[in-house]
A = this chain, B = another copy of it.
Amino acid sequence: MIKVGIVGGTGYTGVELLRLLAQHPEAHVEVITSRSEEGMRVPDMYPNLRGHYDDLAFSVPDVGRLGACDVVFFATPHGVAHSLAGELLATGTRIIDLSADFRLRDADEWSKWYGQAHGAPDLLDQAVYGLPEVNRDAIRQARLIAVPGCYPTATQLGLIPLLEAGLADTSTLIADCKSGVSGAGRGASVGSLLGESSESMKAYTVTGHRHLPEIRQGLQLAAKGPVGLTFVPHLTPMIRGIHATLYATVKDRSVDLQNLFSERYANEPFVDVLPKGSHPETRSVRGSNMCRIAVHRPQDGDLVVVLSVIDNLVKGASGQAVQNMNIALGLEETLGLAHPALMP
C-alpha cells in the first residue's frame, strides 16, 4: 500500500484527490494538512466522503509525517510548494504539486506572472512537467512533478499533434476556452456566487491569464520554436468542465488530420480522439480522467478547429496528479482512474 500525504486538502482539488484515492486499490492517505481546519475530520468538511475517511483529520503540516509518505501531493495556493518542497524532497519522498509553483521552467517568467519572487529556483532543474502524453519517461524518474493546469492540459493535448507534425502556422494560434466555475476554487468570492455566475457567460482576463505562459511553454516545446498564442478564458455557468476551442492555420491541406490525431494518441489511455465530425461535450468526461478531442477543418479551408474537453478537476488537476503518481511509482497508469464519466 502506497502511503500518501496531501498538503492543503480543503479546496476542490483536495477533495477531488480524496474522492479518486478512495477508489484507488493501492493508495492510502496517511496525512492531510490544513492550518485553518486543524483537527476537523475530513468527512465533516466533505459529507460525500463519509464512510471513506472516517479516521482522517486535518493536521498542521509536519515534514516528518509528510516525509514518511511515499508521495506527497500539494493542493495549495501558489508559493506554498516553493517553501516546503526542498525540505521535503530531502526526506526522500516524491512530490506531486498541483499548484503552479514548478510549471514554468523560467523563474523570472514565473515571478512576472505571479507577482512575487520564485521561492525555489534551485529545484527547477529536477522538476518534471507532468503531462504524461508528452513526458511519460521523465515522469517515471521524477521526484518533483508539476501537474499541468486545467486550461494548459486541454489546450496542449488539442494542439500538440499539429505542432509536433510541423503542420500549423505557429504565429497565430488561438485558444478560446470555456471553464466551469470550480476552476476558480472554493474560496468565497462574489463573482463565483450562483447569483452572479449562473445564467450568464463572460470572458475574463483577456489581457493575460496566468495559464498563458504555461500553455505557450508547452506549445513551444512541441513546435520546437516560438509560438504566438492568444488565449481567452471564459466563465461558464456549470460546476465542472473545460471546453477548449482551438484555432490553427494549417500549411498543408492534404494531411489527414483525423488520422494524425488518432495515431498520435493511439496508445494513450486518457486521450480519446472522437470519430470525424464529432462534437465532444464536457459532460462526457465529468468526473473522469479522459480528454476527448475532435478535429475539424470547416469548409475545407486552412483553418483547423480542434475541440478538446476535460474535467478541470480530474484530467485538469487531481486525476492527472494520480496518473502521475501511478507512473512515477511504477503502477498501472489507469489504476483508480478507469471509471466512466457521470452522465447525465
Contacts and interface: CB of A to CB of B under 8 A. Distances in A.
A316 interface: no
A39 interface: no
Contacts of A309: 201-202
B344 A238 contact: no
A307 B206 contact: yes
In the complex, which of the residues A195, A239, A280, A282 has the most CB atoms of chain B within 10 Å of its own CB atom?
A195
Given A181-B194, A344-B240, A22 B339 contact: yes
Given A238-B237, A343-B48, A195 B186 contact: yes
Contacts of A286: 48, 199-200, 342
A109 B189 CA distance: 33
A236 interface: yes
Interface in A249-292: 249, 272, 274, 277, 279-288, 290, 292
Contact of A305 (B15, B230, B239): B230
Contact of A342 (B19, B282, B285): B19
Contacts of A303: 172, 174, 230
B186 A282 contact: no
Interface stretch (A56-64, A70-78, A81-89, A294-302): A294-302
Given A188-B188, A238-B200, A176 B245 contact: yes
Contact of A237 (B193, B194, B277): B194
B189 A298 contact: no
Contacts of A230: 247, 298, 301, 303, 305
Nearest to A314: B342
Interface residues of A, number: 88
B272 A340 contact: no
A301 B49 CA distance: 33
A284 B201 CA distance: 10
A190 interface: yes
B189 A192 contact: no
Nearest to A243: B201
B23 A344 contact: no
Nearest to A311: B342
In the complex, which of the residues A19, A204, A230 has the most CB atoms of chain B within 10 Å of its own CB atom?
A230
Interface in A189-239: 189-190, 192-204, 206-208, 228, 230-232, 234, 236-239
A52 interface: yes
A307 B233 CA distance: 12
Interface string A152-195: 00000000000000000000101010101110101111101111
| Nearest 5 A/B pairs, CB to CB | A200-B283, A48-B341, A48-B343, A188-B188, A47-B284
8 contacts: A50-B272, A176-B245, A178-B178, A186-B193, A206-B298, A230-B298, A230-B301, A239-B344
Interface of A: 12, 15, 18-19, 22-23, 46-52, 172, 174, 176, 178, 180-182, 184, 186-190, 192-204, 206-208, 228, 230-232, 234, 236-241, 243, 245, 247, 249, 272, 274, 277, 279-288, 290, 292, 296, 298-299, 301, 303, 305, 307, 309, 313, 338-344
Given A194-B198, A196-B344, A199-B199, 8 more contacts: A23-B338, A186-B193, A194-B197, A198-B237, A201-B309, A232-B305, A236-B236, A342-B342
